[in-house]
Structure 1
Amino acid sequence: MESSEATSEQEVITLEGVVVVGTRAKPRSVLESAVPIDVLPSEDFVKQGGTDLPDLLRNLVPSYNVNAQPIADAATVVRPANLRGLAPDHTLLLVNGKRRHRASVIAWLGNGLSDGAQGADLSPIPTIALKQLEVLRDGASAQYGSDAIAGVINLQLKDSYEGGSFAIKPSIFQAGDGLAYAVAGNIGLGREDLWTNLSVEYGGMNETDRSVQRDDAAALISAGNADVADPAQPWGHPIIRNDIKLFANYGASITDDIKFYGHANYAQKEVEGGFYFRNPNTRPAVFSNDDGETLLVGRLSGTGEVPVVKITNNVPYPVALQQVFSDPNLFTFQELFPGGFTPRFGADTQDASLLVGLKGMIAADVGWDLSASYGRHASDFFIRNTVNASLGPDTPTEFDPGDYIQADTNINLDLTYPLHDMVFLASGLEYRTETFEIVQGQIESWKIGPLASQGFSSGSNGFPGFSDIAEGSWTRSNFAGYLESELRPLDFWTVNAAIRGEYFDDFGSTVNYKIATNYGIADTLKELLSVDPVVDLRARGSYSTGFRAPTPGQQNAFNVTTEFGENNTLVNKGTIPSTHAAASLVGGKPLEPEKSKNFTVGTVVSHTIASITVDYFNIKLEDRLAPTKDFQRGTDITEAQIQQLVAEGITSAGNLQEFRFFTNEFETSTQGVDVILTAPILDGALSLAYNYTETTVTKRNPDILDDTRVRLLEEGVPRHRGNVTLTQAIGDSLGVLGRVNYYGPWYENAVGAQTYGEAFLVDLEVSYALIENLGITIGVNNVLNVEPDNVTWADPDVENFTGAIVGRPFGEYSPYGFGGAFWYTKVGYSF
């Protein structure tokens, strides 16, 4: 809590707020904007449980989707988020109007829609640093460049040079796990001509476990295997350790006409989650290679036949097993892991950025702004409690698979010129470089060991390390120039236009444009009829073209992961560059930029008793980028291709059952409606927000993009989202908040195809001012303890099936999580 007063005057989505995103002319209100923009003041983030900015934003903006990512490889580390039903890297993130660097993580597992995306990360930003957050729900590539197809999120940092606040927020799930805490502070220092605003947050979270004991693990225990854990496969939110977030916003007046400004951040954390259970009798290429008929036994030295250890009723034949154990020349992984094992995977991440700039005036009218920034995000992966099976008894059980590193540099020059009261002009130049680097992992994490020729898998099981051939650094640079204008033919009519050209050193040139308008219908009637309208009625709309260039990471990264394949068996799947020789045999080719056409039209109605906006949007995407279908070994993949993958450095290729690569082989049409209403009620406010988004794959190559992938793109996030929020002040000290969130059905195919039903979640919060500047808040998200539907795909005829085959009761990608009720307390002091 940042204030001791129990205020309820802030609206969850403010229609009257002043915004700077969407135009380079002077800031204007949301109602006057030519495009739809949500304005979220900092109080809206304070009035929630949790501390992770993506989750808090999801509760406020229905067109924004993000979910928990259990057993999702690198997506667990940086969770992918979607705006208006598009991929995470279709949304551009700005801080104080300046482009922010993207994250190093490529979300290889993202329930279809986010697969392969590499977007920016909101998590390193402490909420206490925010003055307000603006969500531009419109294509803006012509204004801001690549990645702005779905829209723009702009973070406005606090810029006060005096005062501050301090907050402590402990929280826990009603089930008794997931204990989390955050300690945050903000302070302004200096004076008007030399100031800085500093924010810090430190926290962490324990893991949750919503698993059910797997059927195969339960069968092993029933057969007498006392080494199998219960649960064998924990499933829930990951552990977050030492979550440090620092942000600084600063400025100074050098002369009357020149000002220095900038911001910087540093963040780090460790994220650790679980993987799938490796059954000690059946796990391919570790414990068995014939679906558990016999154990996989390796010969370490000497000659002679290897004993056959048959498995009957989940028990290896004891006499033959003892023969293997007693012979130093023979080996089975049941010697190291008699109860199987469940790998633990995660990463240590670091995020840092620095931006400095100078701005001023030439003569009295021409404004100039010169800035330079550098941002870097690094993920140092680790995997524990696993093996490189090809190394046999010499394998480590902890590995450093290597690092992903992303670094961006931006240099911008912007000029503005108010040519006339009715004409505003802006132009600018930009130079940007983007570098993606893969750092080689420890040799044991990717080495092909001596037992590989006997059928044992190579590389750290679950997440093989990056080999000396997969490592590398790839850089792309581009130049851009833009022209932008704002015309006001009438006091109540605004027209915005922009054109932008960019040149990429690997893709060539692209030119995009945008035109948008806001027209005051009520003002027209007033002028024509000489009467004051009851309401302020406006119409607005826009049309634009856009683009998104594939990232260097998407062009060059190798990745091998373990997922459920056909017949519910765990198999190794690889993602390889589209220019890889093996990919070219099945249609792979160099990637092209995605191209979009965006259209919006809407209306704004405001009155002292309420304000409402209704906006329709339509986004057509050509040459859309996404991973292909999985090409199967034995049907799509030849043994020659497998050997080629081995030669190229994917060391587990000998056991690789499937691979995929990025492609531009499809087109989509995404359309929807956003409705936002706010109204003051007594000593509080009512806010309603609703979003409908529908995506259709309009063209595809069925040999590359299969039906399952299409359905995930079309139904992977809810088409219907909405929330209603009511805040009320009771006296001078007490405030209450109630929110109802609605999530429509969604589809997933993580381990089986299933559509999960709709849900209503209720949030409650009570704030009380103890003394001046000191307050306490108690709240609960999901007070009714709503959980997603149970998994039923495995056997629809079995009532109340709990998903014991896969060890979890709920869907993997629930848009509102699966933890149940979440209780929190906040103590805040402001000065």
Structure 2
Amino acid sequence: MSVKKPSQRLFTQQTILAVAISSLSGLSVAQSDDLQELELEEVITVGTRVAGRTATEASVPVDVINSEALTKNGFTELGQALQTSAPSFNFTRTQVSDGSDLFRPATLRGLQPDQTLVLINGKRRHTQSIFGNQGTVGGGSAGTDMNSIPLTALQSVEVLRDGAAAQYGSDAIAGVINLKLKETVDETTGFVQWGSTAEGDGDTLTVGLNTGFELENDGFLNLSVEYRDFDRTNRADNPLWHQGDAEGEFQSFFYNSMINVAGGELYSFGGVSNRTALGSGFRRAAASAAQNVPQVYPNGFTPNIDNEAQDESFAIGYRRELQSGWHLDSSIVYGQNEYDFASANTINPSIAAEYLANNPDASDADIAANAGPSAGHSASFKFGQTTVNVDLTGEVEWGDSPLYVAVGAEFRDERYSIGQGIPASYSCGSSNGSSSFPSVIDPNVFASCGFQAYPGVSPDAETSTSRDSYALYVDLEKNLSDRWLMSAAFRFEDYQQIGSENAGKISSRYDISDSFAIRGAVATGFRAPSLPQRDYQAYGTNVNNDGTLARAFIASAGSALPKALGVNNLKIETSTSVSLGFVAEWDALTLTVDGYRIQIDDRIGLGSNIGASELQGNQAALDALAATGVAEARFFSNAVNTTTEGVDLVLSYDTDLWEGNLEIALAANYNKTEIDSFNLPAGTTEQQVFSNVSQTFLENGQPSERGSLSLNWSDDKFSSLLRINYFGDTEVDQFAQNHIPIPNTLPTSVVESAVLVDVDFSYDVSDNLTLSVGGNNIFDETPDELASNEVLDIISRGAFRYPLRAVPYGFNGASYYVKASFRF
């Protein structure tokens, strides 16, 4: 095993940057109408409700990333493709955290996944039914599953990098991502792509097809299908362990349509997707008395988590121009996300232990035959959302220029449920009694309960709940002069059982000259606690040294234990944000720089387990804990108040070079989040409400610095892309001393800064066929390997090579691909 020295990494990074800088020399300036990777001249639909505005004309920063830029690399997932083009967007790779083999925490400006609102065609998208584990980026939050959307269906992606709750409602504290579906007709496009890593694993086959048809009365129907089959990668030094991506499949179908009827447009869009992934947990050693049954697994085993995610959505709406010149848009959007978890290559050790306790003379064959199932369903989570909108937009004559007005109302119904697993997935013994049994290996050690890796949900944790909300908003925009644009928005939103909140925003843009403008905004925002945060409850079982069961519990908001500690319910998160920047345009060069500061009060977090010894003096809390029948419990609360500060820079340049066209896009982000204070209920501590692990993930789990430089040169037949991605370092308190108490270990887990280089070469064989070949991370950059005194290295017995959490660019190393794209 070789560890790359810092001097070697520095030399590599300097060489890459030198090549990039030298390639920029000797350029001549020329205008071009070609789309750029971070398009600044395309008409936008977020950040303003005035038709026809472009990104550079807006009073807030908006990036438009076209479909060509999203697909001109080897990435087949939307989240990864966005990360290369929008540095304020982060898509952390995580392993051995429940569900992470399918969903990744997608974040904007370093905030939580559920603090970014995702739209499709300008309409609210539903979120995930599960939240990230404590001890991961985005822990405790259920954001939108970006990877459920196929790249084949997208025309472009708009990224509004500014607080927009006053315009779009809850979850838009960090910003808004709008996914625009294709509307093309009389054209069929598609691709077949195969890729693999430099290690020879992770083979991925992806096939996409899009076609469109004209309908009567200038209508259209656009259809997209996509299929992906991917093998696992493994970077563990011991092949019995698994550190890498899971194997699985992805299938999706999306549509977008419109027909002209009754003087207006009847539109509809939606889609379904299904993904599976077979992930892995930590290996269970053959001699692990609490975890293994050697009669079934004589050499130990690595348990698997069989994940399946299903998404479905359907939108229908009607828009038309009224006689007054105003425009009406009414719509209904339904969406649902379901995650099912099954365990495979696993066992519930307590079942065999109970059988042996009742049959002390049993043979090994008898024990194996009565050890219970080695696979089965563990849990299911489902979240559904129906949103009804009615919007009116128009103009009111006022002075020399009109006042653009938008008013609207929204009703939303949300439903959430948790389903149980099979009895063997959660039980203690086949009888599921009140105590465990001595293991089949060592009578002095008691067998664990439930499936290894992913213990199932028990019947007493099943949940079915719902809530409604409604909102009213007004949005105003006016040119006070030829050079001065002002916008204002106000929104009122009320949530059943939680309460109401107001949000407002004022933004402005002033053109100092034809080529230079300043812009800024002041806004308040909010985010209502999600149903998974409010209503999630789950039981887990640990076994004490004396064989008694130590059951742990996540208590739902508003239940007896949180109430006894002063947490009657989860409150709405509130924010105040300020942004200030400028837009500069000189011929073919466009530069935008925007600084921001976001203060969030009452951020929701999942606390640590609290036992009876920590509740002494609070009899109500002791009684509540005893009533649950568990030894320890934890709960969500509005744990912390934070401040996030940062700067975004986007530069676009277009020039002639070598009888072709060179497009340059530079985007960079600096971002830092700090905890200002804690909201501690009486009788609790910081560690109980928001542990060191959670604190470090919130403040240091995502890179503070990100950058991307893309150089795209093309002529009539040939195009080439060089993209340089920079990731700052991360440092978290996970798999370290404060998480697992092993003495003499390193205090934190660090992922060092890195430069990753991607290339793509494409050739138009004909008007109908393009062949491409390329590589991502071609210099095989990976995190530094674990030191011998890091906890993860110790508990994996040297099998794990790299950190598992807070890895923004993964640990697979270099990968390569070939692609055939067609059009007819």
Q: What is the TM-score when the length of structure 1 is the normalising length? A: 0.84
- The 5 A counterparts of 1:38-437 are 38-109=63-134, 111=136, 113-191=137-215, 193-213=218-238, 231-241=239-249, 243-255=250-262, 257-282=263-288, 285-286=290-291, 333-392=293-352, 393-420=370-397, 421-437=401-417
Q: Is the 8 A contact 2:700 2:731 kept in 1?
A: yes
Q: Match of 1:240, as an amino acid? A: G
- The 5 A counterparts of 1:544-555 are 544-555=523-534
* Equivalent in 508, 511, 521 of residue 520 of structure 1: 511
Structure 1 position 647, deviation (Å) = 6.9
Q: Match of 2:704, as an amino acid? A: R
Structure 1 position 272, deviation (Å) = 1.4
Give the whole-Å Cα distance in 2 for the aligned partners of 1:434 and 1:278: 40
Q: Is the 8 A contact 2:655 2:663 kept in 1?
A: yes
Structure 1 position 11, deviation (Å) = 1.9
Structure 1 position 791, deviation (Å) = 1.9
Distance 1:459 1:802, change over 3 A: closer
The superposition leaves residues 749-781 of structure 1 with CA deviations (integer Å, 9 ceiling, x where unpaired) of: 331212221100111110011122211000000
Distance 1:19 1:573, change over 3 A: farther
- Match for residue 757 of structure 1? 752
Structure 1 position 240, deviation (Å) = 1.6
- Say which is worse superposed, 816-825 or 699-708, in terms of deviation: 699-708
Structure 1 position 710, deviation (Å) = 2.0
1:447 paired to 2:427: yes
Q: Is the 8 A contact 1:624 1:667 kept in 2?
A: yes
Q: Is the 8 A contact 2:436 2:449 kept in 1?
A: no
Q: Is the 8 A contact 2:88 2:109 kept in 1?
A: yes
Distance 1:805 1:394, change over 3 A: closer
- Match for residue 14 of structure 2? none
SS at match of 1:709: helix
- Match for residue 309 of structure 1? none
- Match for residue 527 of structure 1? none
Structure 1 position 9, deviation (Å) = 4.1
* Equivalent in 537, 560, 566 of residue 516 of structure 2: 537
Give the whole-Å Cα distance in 2 for the aligned partners of 1:766 and 1:8: 22
1:686 paired to 2:664: yes
Structure 1 position 580, deviation (Å) = 4.1
* Equivalent in 677, 681, 697 of residue 699 of structure 1: 677
SS at match of 2:119: strand
Q: Match of 1:280, as an amino acid? A: A
Structure 1 position 183, deviation (Å) = 0.5
Q: Match of 1:75, as an amino acid? A: S
1:827 paired to 2:820: yes
Q: Is the 8 A contact 2:598 2:643 kept in 1?
A: yes
Structure 1 position 804, deviation (Å) = 5.0
The superposition leaves residues 468-488 of structure 1 with CA deviations (integer Å, 9 ceiling, x where unpaired) of: 221121101001100111111
1:810 paired to 2:802: yes
The superposition leaves residues 164-201 of structure 1 with CA deviations (integer Å, 9 ceiling, x where unpaired) of: 20100111111000000110011111246231001110
The superposition leaves residues 785-812 of structure 1 with CA deviations (integer Å, 9 ceiling, x where unpaired) of: 111111237259xxx9898536311121
Q: What is the TM-score when the length of structure 2 is the normalising length? A: 0.85
Q: Is the 8 A contact 1:754 1:792 kept in 2?
A: no
Give the whole-Å Cα distance in 1 for the aligned partners of 2:42 and 2:315: 26
The share of aligned pairs that are identical, in percent, is 32
* Equivalent in 481, 497, 514 of residue 506 of structure 1: 497
* Equivalent in 33, 55, 62 of residue 37 of structure 1: 62
Distance 1:632 1:773, change over 3 A: farther
Distance 1:801 1:502, change over 3 A: closer
Give the number of equivalent residue pairs.
Answer: 730
- Say which is worse superposed, 638-647 or 618-627, in terms of deviation: 638-647
Structure 1 position 416, deviation (Å) = 0.9
Q: Match of 2:821, as an amino acid? A: G
1:744 paired to 2:728: yes
Q: Is the 8 A contact 1:521 1:537 kept in 2?
A: yes
Greater relative contact order (Cα < 8 A, sep 6+): 1
The superposition leaves residues 317-337 of structure 1 with CA deviations (integer Å, 9 ceiling, x where unpaired) of: xxxxxxxxxxxxxxxx22222
Distance 1:175 1:802, change over 3 A: farther
Distance 1:647 1:447, change over 3 A: farther
Q: Is the 8 A contact 1:469 1:648 kept in 2?
A: no
Q: Is the 8 A contact 1:494 1:519 kept in 2?
A: yes
Structure 1 position 69, deviation (Å) = 2.3
- The 5 A counterparts of 1:555-594 are 555-559=534-538, 575-584=554-563, 588-594=567-573
Give the alignment's Cα RMSD to 1 decimal: 2.6
Distance 1:642 1:185, change over 3 A: farther
- Match for residue 4 of structure 1? none
List alignment gaps of at least 5 residues for structure 1: 1-6, 214-230, 288-332, 524-535, 564-570
Give the whole-Å Cα distance in 1 for the aligned partners of 2:135 and 2:692: 17
Give the whole-Å Cα distance in 2 for the aligned partners of 1:773 and 1:726: 25
Q: Is the 8 A contact 1:790 1:801 kept in 2?
A: no
Structure 1 position 281, deviation (Å) = 2.5
Q: Match of 1:699, as an amino acid? A: S
SS at match of 2:82: helix
